[in-house]
Structure 1
């Protein structure tokens, strides 16, 4: 169903562009081969559509939204484990567990 959503005009182009960017970044970081890239692209697209849907459907329920996002992430990692080598999967999990770094001039008022 998520793949059908990704074909919807309101999702299609933006989600596909984002999924391509994510897959490209993964290809560079994890040194993916062409077959892996081709198999990961629809998985990344499905994940983005799922996240969009979760964020929209549960926008007023932080607890449920977080639980659904965690469930989606677990499914995503399971799909990735079928495509990536153990070493690549480990690198992916390490990079996903690191907090996103704030830009140098984030203006957070700390110094």
Structure 2
């Protein structure tokens, strides 16, 4: 497993590879952090497959809706965990290094998540 993971909240397609100060937008996740995120995504993936199966079997609409709601909550939980990791590591590191523009970036991220 490659220990250097691209920060999921700043994918290369959406953000420049480096910050305005030229620092890389990468973060080193611990194996535990990485596995926790992957486990959460695997759970969501399984739930979505279950919903697809329900649709294919013409399940009762409210039952499908309840499962879809569970997927939405699981994704929200994933986002909260990832945001928490980001704040505890990337944001703190940037602030300690004097990169105050990180606060503006964090505000933009939170605003976008709350849309």
Please state which band the TM-score falls in when normalised by the shorter chain.
0.3 to 0.5
Using CA pairs under 8 Å that are at least 6 residues apart, name the structure with larger relative contact order, 1 or 2: 1
Larger Rg: 2
More strand by proportion, 1 or 2?
2
Q: TM-score, normalised by structure 1?
A: 0.46
TM-score for both structures, normalised by structure 2: 0.45
